[in-house]
Amino acid sequence: MTLRRLLLLAGVLLILFLGMYSWNQRTHTLDGLAAQVGLELAGAVLKPIRTVQDSVEGVWTRYFDLVGVREENQRLRQEVQDLQARLLANGEDLAELHRLRALVQLPVDQSWRPLGARVLAGRMGPNAVLDSITISRGYSTGGRPGTPLVTNLGLVGRVLRASAHSAIVLLLTDPSSRIAVFSQESRAPGILTGMGTGQKLEVNFVHRDAKVRSGEILITSGLDGKYPKGIPVARVLSVAPSDYTQFMAIKAEPLVDLQHLEEVLLLEPTGMAPPPDPGAPPKEFIGPPAPGSLAP
């Protein structure tokens, strides 16, 4: 190609460019077309990038949401455990309140002063020598040896040995326990003897002509000087003539569940004389008939 033709072609192209430029300045057609093409190309490139970005952000957000949900679940689980523990504690407090209310309703006269105590330990193993419990009072706090122990249901035993602030209580089921009792209805006297853990109590020295019946309540007579008069002790299970003596063979069971004691009352002597018996003691604090009360 000659120089003339190159110059001619360059001139034609220049004229076309100037014409299109002038036409575009008036109509802006090429600008709009270029903007649309550029926008379409930008959209085609940015859409996949944005999709990937949204996916990554969604995964990250869901991760933090799951972490938050897990922490919230742990917090709620801990709150539930705390509430359950508090509910159990409140239930135990309520049960203890009922037991203590029942304890303070035990009727005793002015010659005895009730003192509350907690049971610290029960029988020390199956091979323990004594049927006993350990309580939270000693000789300096009202738990001197010989002090009787009761619950709202009846007699438990008496203090055997004591330190300053704790004591060992000999239960009425121990084989060395001897308690002077009356049958509550027939008024037959006898000696209630322990036979060991899990064994029935025996009532000795009850005469054959006594009208003791099964189911009758045995109460302390006070004749031995160890226990207040009229404390319920046991329930008669069986009555039969003895094959070996002139007395009755009577079996009984304690009124108190001695294996599950938690609180007890010690009956500390006050040294005051008991009130005079008018001859008709209340049913819940019953003792031997007053002299002359059976006279016609």
Q: Which two tokens stand for residue 212?
A: 């003791």
Side-chain-side CA neighbours of residue 2 (13 Å): 3
- What pLDDT digit, counting tens, does each position of 123-182 carry? 755 555 688 999 999 988 888 999 999 988 889 999 999 999 999 999 999 999 999 999
Cα–Cα nearest to 275, from 229, 234, 241: 229
Cα–Cα distance measured from residue 85 to residue 87, given in angstroms and rounded to the nearest whole number: 5
Using the 3D structure, point to which of 73, 108, 143 is the last residue of a domain. 108
Q: Are 91 and 237 in a shared domain?
A: no
Q: Are 53 and 170 in a shared domain?
A: no
Q: Which two tokens stand for residue 223?
A: 């004749």
Residue 104, domain member (yes or no): yes
Q: Are 128 and 177 in a shared domain?
A: yes
Residue 112 — pLDDT band, cuts 50, 70, 90? confident
Mean pLDDT of the chain, nearest integer: 78
Residue 216, domain member (yes or no): yes
Provide the domain count of the chain: 2
Which of 49-53, 95-99, 154-158, 284-288 comes out lowest in average pLDDT? 284-288
Q: What is the extent of the structural domain holding 57?
A: 32-108
Which of 59-68, 128-137, 196-205, 232-241 comes out lowest in average pLDDT? 59-68
Residue 79, domain member (yes or no): yes
Q: Answer for the pair 184, 216: CB distance below 8 angstroms, yes or no.
A: yes
Does the predicted model carry a pTM greater than 0.85?
no
Residue 74 — pLDDT band, cuts 50, 70, 90? confident
Residue 101 — pLDDT band, cuts 50, 70, 90? low
Strands (E), 50-91: none
Compare 268 and 47 and report the one with higher pLDDT. 268
Look at residue 79 and tell me whether its pLDDT is greater than 50.
yes
Q: Which two tokens stand for residue 13?
A: 């192209």
Residue 128, domain member (yes or no): yes
Q: Are 123 and 198 in a shared domain?
A: yes
Residue 284, domain member (yes or no): no
58 — phi, psi (to 5°)? Answer: -65, -45
- What pLDDT digit, counting tens, does each position of 4-14 carry? 777 777 777 77
Look at residue 294 and tell me whether its pLDDT is greater than 60.
no
Residue 290, domain member (yes or no): no
